[in-house]
């Protein structure tokens, strides 16, 4: 029964069961990319596993600080009365075979949605693929969205930053296609397609419209990679014409990196190919407080996955009770919003805001002396206070 809900890629679904506002009165519809995307953005319940009023979500604790962070998320959800159960899958990043990864993928396909810690890539063997990359490719999580916003309680060089980074998540340099063509000569294939470039560009402009953003900046290196980045840039420019209300410009990646640290306020929405997205995501997270603050959302047409924005493992600080849990807590708020549990999301979000910006319970990465558990306790106290009957 559940499996049949997810099997065909383009689905014929009874409209009224999904979302009458989206589909009108007609009975059966073949989903367009835009409609499927609306679904993947959490507009409807169809792709989420819900039993007896509770949601089932896949949890991949990952390595390093991941398991600790997930423990805190579970505790806050439990004490805050959040109707979410987790199906935990522990990925073993030491083994070559991918049975374990298959288990995780099956779980996410069944539940439709996951929360994830970063999985370490321990092997340098070219045969060993990053588990993080396999998951994104297999689930076709084509977009990664980061909202980097200054927090008034965190001391940073620039104030009032509010930038959204929209990153193509499945192609480019992450095709995992590398070979040694002859001894000492390695070729690494960067794949850029019109289809995926169009998809990510549309997503970025749709996002800008929906979220009242004014400008989209495509980032590239088309002066050097004339074909690959040229295709990305030209496709973004073409799609931009369908969105006359949104200003469109472009910037070369090296200049954009410099501008982002020297004058970040000029940016609104950044539209990024995969590797440049990875780099600028980290810079942008750094601008608003580092790896422990910002969350990241990954969407495909069928599944959603929530994690920390800069995807750190934090192996060196694991088990020391000093990691900043805010990024993962923010990921859990994103998850609740996706599930439509807006009341719970707001309570936890407000508790995080108060902890960071009003009570200023800061871990060492923010210049504070608080332990991870101090932050969690503060958040919990506020959540319990708000949810007490
Ligand atoms: P590590 O140095 O932790 O073994 P690494 O070099 O792979 O791992 P990342 O995991 O990418 O580094 O993390 C980058 C830096 O950010 C590290 O110094 C790490 O300790 C720090 N960091 C990552 N996550 C957090 C967090 N939640 N709170 C505080 N610091 C963090």
Each residue of 312-322: pLDDT tens digit? 999 999 999 99
Q: Does the beta carbon of 312 lie inside 6 Å of ligand 1?
A: yes
Q: What is the pLDDT of residue 4?
A: 36
Using most ligand atoms within 8 A of CB, pick from 307, 316, 319, 374 the residue to mutate for ligand 1.
Answer: 316
User: Phi/psi zone of residue 52: left (φ > 0), alpha (ψ -120 to 50 degrees), beta?
Assistant: left
Phi, psi of 326 (to 5 degrees): -65, -40
State the distance from the centre of ligand 1 to the C-alpha of 281, rounded, in angstroms.
15
Mean pLDDT of 154-169: 97
pLDDT at position 40 over 60: no
- Residue-wise pLDDT for 352-385, tens only, equals 999 999 999 999 999 999 999 999 999 999 999 9
Q: What is the pLDDT of residue 41?
A: 52
Q: What is the pLDDT of residue 12?
A: 33
Which ligand 1 atom is nearest residue 327's CA?
27
pLDDT at position 6 over 90: no
Q: Cα separation of 157 and 288, whole Å?
A: 9
pLDDT at position 335 over 90: yes
Q: Cα separation of 360 and 362, whole Å?
A: 6
Q: What is the pLDDT of residue 120?
A: 87
pLDDT at position 32 over 50: no
- Residue-wise pLDDT for 208-247, tens only, equals 999 999 999 999 999 999 999 999 999 999 999 999 999 9
Q: What is the pLDDT of residue 19?
A: 30
Higher pLDDT, 7 or 89: 89
Q: Does the beta carbon of 323 lie inside 6 Å of ligand 1?
A: yes
Mean pLDDT of 78-90: 96
Residue nearest to atom 18 of ligand 1 (CA): 314
Q: Does the beta carbon of 111 lie inside 6 Å of ligand 1?
A: no
Using most ligand atoms within 8 A of CB, pick from 61, 317, 322 the residue to mutate for ligand 1.
Answer: 317
Residue nearest to atom 24 of ligand 1 (CA): 314
Q: What is the pTM of this model?
A: 0.87
Q: What is the pLDDT of residue 99?
A: 80
Q: Does the beta carbon of 316 lie inside 6 Å of ligand 1?
A: yes
Q: What is the pLDDT of residue 121?
A: 85
- Beta strands of the chain (E only): which ranges? 12-14, 28-30, 49-51, 54-60, 84-88, 113-116, 143-149, 162-168, 178-182, 185-188, 215-220, 247-252, 269-272, 295-299, 304-308
Tell me the percentage of the chain whose pLDDT exceeds 90.
78
Residue nearest to atom 22 of ligand 1 (CA): 314
Q: Does the beta carbon of 273 lie inside 6 Å of ligand 1?
A: no
- Residue-wise pLDDT for 290-310, tens only, equals 999 999 999 999 999 999 999
Q: Does the beta carbon of 317 lie inside 6 Å of ligand 1?
A: yes
State the distance from the centre of ligand 1 to the C-alpha of 314, rounded, in angstroms.
4
Spatial CB neighbours of 341, under 8 Å, sequence gap ≥ 6: 55, 82, 83, 84
Q: Does the beta carbon of 332 lie inside 6 Å of ligand 1?
A: no
Q: What is the pLDDT of residue 46?
A: 52
Q: Does the beta carbon of 339 lie inside 6 Å of ligand 1?
A: no
Residue nearest to atom 17 of ligand 1 (CA): 314
Q: What is the pLDDT of residue 389?
A: 65
Structure confidence at residue 47 as a pLDDT band (50, 70, 90)? low
Structure confidence at residue 267 as a pLDDT band (50, 70, 90)? very high
pLDDT at position 64 over 90: yes
- Residue-wise pLDDT for 171-216, tens only, equals 999 888 889 999 999 999 999 999 999 999 999 999 999 999 999 9
Using most ligand atoms within 8 A of CB, pick from 64, 291, 371 the residue to mutate for ligand 1.
Answer: 291
116-152 burial code (b ≥16 CB/10 A, e <16): bbbbbeeeeeeeebbbbbbbbbbbebbbbbbbbebbe
Q: What is the pLDDT of residue 27?
A: 29
Report the mean per-residue pLDDT for the chain.
88
Q: Does the beta carbon of 313 lie inside 6 Å of ligand 1?
A: yes
Q: Does the beta carbon of 314 lie inside 6 Å of ligand 1?
A: yes
State the distance from the centre of ligand 1 to the C-alpha of 342, rounded, in angstroms.
31
pLDDT at position 89 over 70: yes
Q: What is the pLDDT of residue 252?
A: 98
Q: Does the beta carbon of 61 lie inside 6 Å of ligand 1?
A: no
State the distance from the centre of ligand 1 to the C-alpha of 72, rounded, in angstroms.
18
Q: What is the pLDDT of residue 9?
A: 34
Backbone CA torsion sign across 176, 180, 186, 192 = negative
Q: What is the pLDDT of residue 78?
A: 96
Residue nearest to atom 21 of ligand 1 (CA): 314
């Amino acid at each position: 029964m559940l499996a049949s809900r997810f099997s065909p890629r383009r689905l014929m679904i009874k409209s009224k069961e999904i979302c009458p506002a989206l589909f009108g009165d007609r009975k059966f519809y073949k989903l367009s990319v835009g409609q499927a995307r609306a679904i993947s953005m959490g507009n409807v319940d169809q792709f989420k596993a819900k039993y007896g009023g509770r949601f089932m979500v896949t949890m991949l604790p990952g390595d390093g600080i991941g398991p600790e962070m997930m423990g805190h998320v579970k505790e806050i959800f439990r004490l805050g009365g959040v109707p979410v159960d987790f199906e935990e899958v522990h990925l073993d990043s030491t083994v070559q075979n991918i049975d374990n990864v298959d288990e995780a993928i099956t779980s996410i396909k069944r539940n439709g949605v996951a929360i994830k810690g970063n999985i370490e890539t321990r092997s340098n063997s070219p045969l060993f693929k990053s588990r993080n990359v396999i998951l994104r490719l297999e689930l076709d999580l084509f977009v990664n969205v980061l909202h980097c916003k200054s927090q008034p309680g965190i001391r940073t060089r620039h104030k009032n930053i509010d930038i959204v980074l929209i990153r193509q998540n499945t192609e480019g340099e992450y095709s995992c296609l590398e070979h040694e063509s002859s001894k000492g000569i390695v070729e690494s294939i960067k794949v850029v397609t019109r289809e995926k470039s169009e998809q990510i560009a549309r997503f970025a402009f749709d996002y800008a419209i929906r979220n009242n953003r004014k400008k989209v900046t495509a980032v590239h290196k088309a002066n050097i990679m004339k074909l690959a980045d040229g295709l990305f840039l030209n496709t973004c420019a073409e799609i931009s014409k369908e969105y006359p209300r949104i200003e469109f410009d472009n910037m070369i990646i090296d200049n954009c990196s410099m501008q982002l640290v020297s004058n970040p306020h000029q940016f609104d929405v950044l539209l990024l190919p995969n590797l440049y997205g990875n780099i600028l995501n980290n810079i942008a997270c750094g601008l608003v407080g580092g790896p422990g603050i910002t969350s990241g959302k990954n969407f495909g047409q069928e599944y959603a996955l929530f994690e920390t924005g800069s995807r750190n493992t934090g192996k060196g600080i694991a088990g020391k009770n000093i990691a900043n849990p805010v990024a993962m807590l923010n990921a859990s708020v994103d998850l609740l919003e996706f599930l439509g549990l807006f009341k719970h999301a707001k309570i936890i979000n407000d508790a995080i805001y108060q902890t960071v910006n009003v009570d200023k319970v800061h871990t060492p990465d923010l210049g504070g002396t608080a332990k991870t558990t101090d932050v969690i306790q503060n958040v919990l106290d506020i959540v319990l206070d708000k949810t007490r009957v």
